[in-house]
Amino acid sequence: MKTKHGFQKKLGQLVLDNSVPIMFIIICAVCIPLSGFSPSYLLNEVVTRMGRNTFLILCLLIPIIAGLGLNFAMTLGAMAGEIALILVSDWQIWGIPGVVLAMIVSIPISILLGLLCGKILNRAKGREMITSYFISFFMNGMYQLVVLYMMGPIIPIVHESIKLPRGYGIRNTVSLLNMRQSVDNLLAINIGGVKIPVLTFLLIALLCLFLIWFRRTKLGQDMRAVGQDMDVARDAGINVDRTRIVSVLISTVVAGFGMILYLQNMGNISTYSSHSQIGMFSIAALLVGGASVEKASIGNAFLGVILFHLMFIVAPSAGAQVTGDSMTGEYFRVFVSYGVIAIALVMYAAKKRRARSNAGQLLAEAQKQEENA
Amino acid sequence: MKSKRVFLFRLVFILVLVAVAAVMLVIGRGHTVYFDNVELDYQGTTYETPYKLVIYTGGEEVAKLYDGERGMATCIGQSLDLTLEITQEKGGEEELVSVTLPLPYNMDGVVINLSAYLQDLPEEAYLSEFVPVVTETGDEEDVVIPGDDMMMGDF
């Protein structure tokens, strides 16, 4: 009887801990038959989107280890990637060399932005997420200033096809046709009508290996220590501020690479909007995979990208089947994306409050026992 | 000692990145090559065109040109390897010629008059830059739409 009760408790805890992925599995299970898509189509889409988005989602892991929470400022890396791609596109470097060059060009821009972001976040300890969210808004304005007014007169842009007709600034859409899916198509294999972008997955695997290795390094251990308790880490001789800056820096550089992989898959840049929501949806995907503000793993990223994108693919079609209007599905997926972030933040706050209250109760009990003794 | 090693490591890393970037700039330069099979007047001499030219790059046929026609191919790098199947006269023998055309780095679009090239004329005679005409589409192109909407598009 006791064993049965224990099992039920464990199961309840498991369900509670994984409530978000379970909810999404149920949503997908309901929506897939309604959407009417064939399994091979769904598999193809999910594989494509995994290749496109996983790199971006994985960039969020290091700041979580370092206790910075969800790095909404990964948008900064995305902007660096976009600027690099615009420049490479203007220099007419095509194919894989274009992608590699864009990644190299994005590194100094990402480092600069990451450094700035890390320094600001160090001045806003305990409020990192909301600060990083607003840094991304601020930098979006700076990005628009650079792309809209500086590209042309200050930063040389030669090709008229990229520039706005007025002679400066970048057009709304920049074509990446000459490097479109160059990474995805190299070494790609086709299994039962499903295209597997092997090279993209190899790059993702490399990043995963890097993350696993990094956690075991001295810096990685320092980040974990900082993430658990900054004061204890400082007392142990860890340079807390520097460690936090490095974590943001790595995240921003990886986000830049991720954005380049994402855009080479898409085949064009929406100059003024590609980056704007990327942070939000990458974070939503990670949370859907069962991650929280203070704990995330590579497995969460993979599960999240599968579930979130499966919902993304089937929701409009399922919405159209149920209500007769595909926009219902559109609204549903937007609602779910923002909703899951809100739930994660509320759960994080509630958990923190509960922990504080438990600690207070323990302290009160200890004091009471001391008085009685 | 340790800081010197770290500095050296960083320096080497940066130099490697710069070197890779330089290599990418050279090997990744894309060109659009236009092949002309048109008659050419050069220094008072008129150079006739073959009846038919079939152009292959990387084993694939990219153009089949009769007199006065233009074909196109894209390529990455500083030279283009071509195999030409030349038919001088209608019903005549086909001749296979392999050529490597050097492409100028500063030109996006390169026009090559193949008949002039096959007559061993200098580069100035057979090679010119293709300058595309940008068509103005009106004021609406100037309107920039910053992306601050809540919709996701194709994420």
Between B66 and B135, where is the model more confident? B66
Instruction: With CA atoms as reference, report the closest residue to A314 among A16, A10, A43, A5.
Output: A43
Looking at chain A, which residue has its C-alpha nearest residue B23? A97
Q: Is B1 on the interface with A (CB under 8 A)?
A: no
A107/B146 Cβ within 8 A: no
- Number of separate domains in chain A: 1
Position B146 scores a pLDDT of 55
B142/A165 Cβ within 8 A: yes
Between B146 and A304, where is the model more confident? A304
The structure tokens 């220094």 sit at B43
Between A107 and B120, where is the model more confident? A107
A104/B21 Cβ within 8 A: yes
- The CATH number assigned to the domain holding A148 equals 1.10.3470
Q: What share of chain A is helix, strand, coil (3-state, %, to 5)?
A: 75, 5, 20
List the Cα angle A272/A278/A284 in 5-degree steps.
150
pLDDT of residue A333 exceeding 90, the answer is no
Over residues A251-279, the mean pLDDT reads 93
Residue A79 and residue A140 in contact, taking contact as beta carbons nearer than 8 Å: yes
Q: Is B28 on the interface with A (CB under 8 A)?
A: yes
**What is chain A's Cα-based Rg?**
23
Residue type at A19?
S
For A2-61, the three-class secondary structure string (H helix, E strand, C coil) is HHHHHHHHHHHHHHHHCHHHHHHHHHHHHHHHHHCCCHHHHHHHHHHHHHHHHHHHHCCH
Position A337 scores a pLDDT of 72
**Quick one: what percent of chain A has pLDDT higher than 70?**
99
Position A86 scores a pLDDT of 96
The structure tokens 């992925």 sit at A21
DSSP 8-class letter at B48? P
Looking at chain B, which residue has its C-alpha nearest residue A166? B142
Position B155 scores a pLDDT of 52
Position A1 scores a pLDDT of 55
Multiple choice CATH, B29-129, 1.10.150, 1.10.10, 2.60.40, 2.60.120: 2.60.40
Least Cα separation, residue A163 to chain B (angstroms): 10
Decide if A6 is inside a domain: no
**Residue boundaries of the structural domains of chain B:** 29-129
pLDDT band at B135 (very low <50, low <70, confident <90, very high): low
B29/A93 Cβ within 8 A: yes
A276/B146 Cβ within 8 A: yes
Sequence-separated (6 or more) residues with CB below 8 Å from residue A313 = A35, A37, A42, A45, A46, A49
- Poorest-pLDDT segment among A44-53, A138-147, A257-266, B116-125: B116-125
Residues on chain A touching B136 (C-beta within 8 angstroms): 165
Position B151 scores a pLDDT of 47
pLDDT band at B142 (very low <50, low <70, confident <90, very high): low
pLDDT (tens digit, 9 = 90+) per residue, A270-321?
A: 999 888 889 888 998 998 888 888 889 999 999 999 998 888 888 888 888 8
Decide if A362 is inside a domain: yes
Decide if A1 is inside a domain: no
pLDDT (tens digit, 9 = 90+) per residue, B22-38?
A: 999 999 999 999 999 88
Position A335 scores a pLDDT of 77
Name, of A107-111, A315-319, A342-346, B41-45, the range with top average pLDDT. A107-111
* Number of residues written out for chain A: 373
Decide if A3 is inside a domain: no
The CA–CA distances, whole Å, from B5 to A214, B8, B9, B14 equal 20, 5, 6, 14
> Rounded to whole angstroms, how far apart are CA atoms B65 and B62?
10
The kind and range of the H/E element at A291 are none
> Rounded to whole angstroms, how far apart are CA atoms B32 and A352?
60
Over residues A337-348, the mean pLDDT reads 76
pLDDT (tens digit, 9 = 90+) per residue, A99-124?
A: 999 999 999 999 999 999 999 999 99
Residues on chain A touching B151 (C-beta within 8 angstroms): 330, 334
Residue type at A370?
E
Position B148 scores a pLDDT of 46
Position B25 scores a pLDDT of 95
Over residues A245-260, the mean pLDDT reads 96
B150/A266 Cβ within 8 A: no
Position B134 scores a pLDDT of 62
Half-sphere exposure at residue A93, Cβ-oriented, CA atoms within 13 angstroms = 24
Over residues A178-191, the mean pLDDT reads 92
Nearest to A334 among B25, B151, B154 (CB): B151
pLDDT (tens digit, 9 = 90+) per residue, B7-24?
A: 999 999 999 999 999 999
A172/B108 Cβ within 8 A: no
A166/B142 Cβ within 8 A: yes
pLDDT (tens digit, 9 = 90+) per residue, B76-108?
A: 999 999 999 999 888 888 889 999 999 999 999
pLDDT band at A256 (very low <50, low <70, confident <90, very high): very high
- Poorest-pLDDT segment among A56-70, A118-132, A333-347: A333-347
Sequence-separated (6 or more) residues with CB below 8 Å from residue B63 = B35, B53, B54, B55, B71, B72, B73
B155/A53 Cβ within 8 A: yes
Residues on chain A touching B147 (C-beta within 8 angstroms): 270, 272-277
Decide if A11 is inside a domain: no
Pairing of strands B69-76, B30-37: antiparallel
Residue B32 and residue B76 in contact, taking contact as beta carbons nearer than 8 Å: no
pLDDT of residue A190 exceeding 60, the answer is yes
pLDDT (tens digit, 9 = 90+) per residue, A45-81?
A: 999 999 999 999 999 999 999 999 999 999 999 999 9
For A161-215, the three-class secondary structure string (H helix, E strand, C coil) is CCECCCCCCECCEEECHHHCCHHHHCCCEEECCEEECHHHHHHHHHHHHHHHHHH
> Rounded to whole angstroms, how far apart are CA atoms A248 and A115?
8
The structure tokens 């919709």 sit at B151
Chain A positions with Cβ closer than 8 Å to B? 53, 91-98, 100-101, 104-105, 107, 140, 144, 148, 159-161, 164-166, 169, 171-172, 178, 266, 270-278, 281, 312, 330, 333-334, 337-338
* Number of residues written out for chain B: 155
Over residues B49-57, the mean pLDDT reads 91
Least Cα separation, residue A237 to chain B (angstroms): 18
Provide the domain limits for residue A211. 19-30+42-372
Instruction: With CA atoms as reference, report the closest residue to A342 among A288, A274, A275, A273.
Output: A288
ipTM confidence score = 0.83
3-class secondary-structure state, position B134 = coil
Residues on chain A touching B134 (C-beta within 8 angstroms): 160-161
> Rounded to whole angstroms, how far apart are CA atoms A347 and A79?
30
pLDDT band at A3 (very low <50, low <70, confident <90, very high): low
**Residue-averaged pLDDT of chain A:** 90
Residues on chain A touching B150 (C-beta within 8 angstroms): 334, 338
Position A189 scores a pLDDT of 93
Position A339 scores a pLDDT of 78
Decide if A183 is inside a domain: yes
Q: Is B2 on the interface with A (CB under 8 A)?
A: no
